[in-house]
Amino acid sequence: ELLARIREIRASEARVYQRIREIFSLATDYVEGQQETQVFFAMMQNKMHYAAAGMTAAEIVRRRADARKANMGLTSWSGTRVLKRDVTTAKNYLAAKEIDTLNRIVVMFLDQAEFRAQRRQDIKMRDWTAFLDQFLRQTELPVLGDAGKVTHEEALAWANEQYDAFADRRRLEAETTAETKYLEDLRASAKTLEAERKKLPGAGKKRGKKKG
């Protein structure tokens, strides 16, 4: 039930983030695909992650990706089982409360951003950055002032390393489970055969000795 709720929240979150990207694209210096633009959008998402969870996206992945935990510590993933593509996404590790907080931040910011965009003709990416910081302070949420203590590359390397260990353990557990099931089936078959043998005529009678 909790997992279903998290997936439901994330589904609505995807639509909200699309709206935010559309708002940011109104900046006069926003050019889709340029490195500066990609860095800008990643930074804005990081600020929202930090406000919701107290960590940047990279820090969340580095601290919560753990091969020893069930589902590697993820609270949400795309398919029926955890795959490598799932373990490098920070939002997949957030608890339901953190996701709810993140969505509330995004929705509240989006409302104000749309209103601000309607009132101003010339907005640059740095204006959006300053506006988000101001918004977070006004709502008494922590404001990220730097890039964080973990780089994106470090987080990716850690997550991939943990996934390899997790996948090996999962495969071994599956093999052990299959072997246990095989042995249980053999025992069950043996019991069934023994029961059927006892039902045969004369199966339970001992033969007498022949007289010399």
For 21-41, how does the pLDDT look when each residue is reduced to its tens digit (9 = 90+)? Answer: 777 887 888 888 888 888 888
Residue 10's pLDDT band, with cuts at 50, 70 and 90, is low
Cβ contact 47:137 at 8 Å: no
- Evaluate if pTM is beyond 0.95: no
Distance (Å, whole) CA 6 – CA 160: 23
Strands (E), the chain: none
What is the pLDDT, as a whole number, of residue 1? Answer: 55
Burial label for 89, CB within 10 Å (0-12, 13-18, 19+), is middle
Q: State pLDDT tens for residues 67-125.
A: 999 999 999 998 889 999 999 999 899 998 998 888 888 888 888 887 877 777 678 88
Nearest to 56, CA basis, from 28, 93, 29, 82: 93
Higher-confidence residue of 182 and 33: namely 33
Q: State pLDDT tens for residues 121-146.
A: 678 889 889 999 999 999 999 999 88
Q: State pLDDT tens for residues 146-170.
A: 878 999 999 999 999 999 999 999 9
Higher-confidence residue of 177 and 93: namely 93
Give whole-number Cα distances, 136 to 14, 62, 115, in Å. Answer: 21, 24, 17
What is the pLDDT, as a whole number, of residue 188? Answer: 74
Distance (Å, whole) CA 40 – CA 58: 16
Q: Percent helix, strand and coil across the chain, each rounded to 5?
A: 70, 0, 30
What is the pLDDT, as a whole number, of residue 141? Answer: 94
Residue reference for tokens 């593509």 = 85
- Average the pLDDT over 198-210 and give the result: 63
What is the pLDDT, as a whole number, of residue 5? Answer: 57
Residue positions counted in the chain? 212
